Structure 1
Amino acid sequence: MSQGDAGIDLNTSLGYLLKEASSALRAAMEEVLRPLGMGVTHYACLELLAQRPGLSNSELARGAFVTRQTMNVLLQNLEREGYVTRPAEAPVGKALPTRLTPSGRRSLDQATAAVRSVEVRMLSGMTEAERSTAFHALKSMIHSLTSPPPPPSGRG
C-alpha cells in the first residue's frame, strides 16, 4: 500500500493492538497449558463447566468461542479421558448437560493456577489504577460492539 492510500495505520490502530494483545495472551496461555496436556479451548470448556455445571454443547461452544462441531469433538475427547460426564440420552430436548468429574476438577485446578500466572505476568507492569482503567475500558468496548447501534440522529 502506498502512503497516499487511506489504509489503517497499524502503529496507531487500537483494534490492531487489541488483536495483538489477544494473540500474545493466547500464545502465553497455550505455553503454560501444553505441559498439562491441554490447550486454551480445553481449559475454557473446563472453566465454563466449573462455573456453570450442566451446560450444553451449544452453550459451551458459545462460551469458548468455537463452533458446535469443534466443541462436540472436544467433549467426546474429554469424556473419553474421564474429565467430564454426559448422559447417554438428553433428559429434556436434545441437549446433553455436561458436568466435570473429580479428575476434571483436579485438571482444571492445575490449569487455573497456570493461567493465573500468565495474567499476573501480563499485568505486572501496571498500577492498580491502570488495571482498573483498562478493565473498564475493555468492558465499555465490548458493550459498544455487542449492543445494538443507536438510531441515526436527526433527519437527513
Structure 2
Amino acid sequence: MSQDGVDLETSLGYLLKEASSALRAAMEQVLRPLGMSVTHYSCLELLAQRPGLSNSELARGAFVTRQTMNVLLQALEREGHVTRPPAAPVGKVLPTRLTPRGRRILEKATAAVRSVEVRMLAGMTGTEQSDARRILRSMIHSLRDGDDSA
C-alpha cells in the first residue's frame, strides 16, 4: 500500500488505466505496419459509421483536440483517405467523408484491431465478456451522469 492509502494492485481506477494503456499499445503495434495510429483508425471508423462528421465531432469522438484532428484530417486528405468540400455548405462546418481508398485501409485496420480485442478477451467466457461490457457501461454512466442511487 502506498503512503496515501491507495493500493494500486486493488485500485479499480488504476487497473482500468493500466488495461487502457495495454490495449492502446497493442492496437498501436498492429496499426503501425499499416501506417496508422489509434487516432487515425478512430477517425476513419467514426467516419465509416457516421459520414459527414465535422472536425469538432471527430475530435470529440477520438478524444483529441480540434487542432490535432485538423492536422490529422489534412494528412488523411493528402493520402486520399478522406474528402472534404473546399467550402462549407452551411456555416463553417466542413463535412468529412471516407473515400474508397479510405474504406480499404479501414477494412485492414479493423481486422488488425479486432485481432487485438480477440486476444484481450481470449481468457474470458462469453458470460464474462458480457458481464465486463455491462459493468464498464455502468461505470461510464455513473461517472458521466452521476450515480442517482447514492
TM-score range (shorter-chain normalised) is over 0.9
- The match for 2:136 among 131, 135, 138 is 138
- Confirm or deny that 1:57 pairs with 2:46: no
- Distance in 1 (CA, whole Å) between partners of 2:112 and 2:146 is 37
Show structure 1 runs of 4+ deviating over 3 A: 148-151
Q: TM-score, normalised by structure 1?
A: 0.92
Rounded to whole Å, the distance in 2 between the matches of 1:33 and 1:111 is: 6
Residue from 20, 26, 33 that aligns with 1:28: 26
User: What letter is aligned with 2:45?
Assistant: E
2:125 aligns with 127
The amino acid that maps onto 1:115 is V
Is 1:74 the counterpart of 2:72? The answer is yes
- Aligned equivalents of 1:129 and 1:14: distance in 2? 21
Paired residue type of 2:29: E
Distance in 2, matches of 1:87 and 1:22, equals: 35
Partner of 2:85: 87
After the TM superposition, which of the residue ranges 6-15 and 35-44 deviates more from structure 2? 6-15
Matches of 1:75 and 1:6 in 2, distance apart? 43
How far residue 150 of structure 1 moved from its aligned partner, in angstroms, is: 4.0
Partner of 1:6: 4
Q: CA deviation at 1:50?
A: 0.1
Sequence identity (%): 77
Q: What displacement does 1:125 show?
A: 0.2
Question: How much has 1:8 moved relative to structure 2?
Answer: 1.2
Instruction: Please list the CA deviations of residues 109-156 of structure 1 after superposition, one character each: whole Å capped at 9, or x if unmatched.
Output: 0000000000000000000010011000000000000104549x8xxx
Q: Distance in 2 between matches of 1:119 and 1:150?
A: 32
Structure 2, gaps ≥5 residues long: none
- How many residue pairs match? The answer is 150
Normalising by the residue count of structure 2, what TM-score does the alignment of the two structures yield?
0.96
RMSD, matched Cα: 1.5
* Structure 1 position 34, deviation (Å): 0.2
Number of the residue aligned with 2:103? 105
> Secondary structure at 1:89's aligned position in 2?
coil
For structure 1, the 5+ residue unaligned runs are none
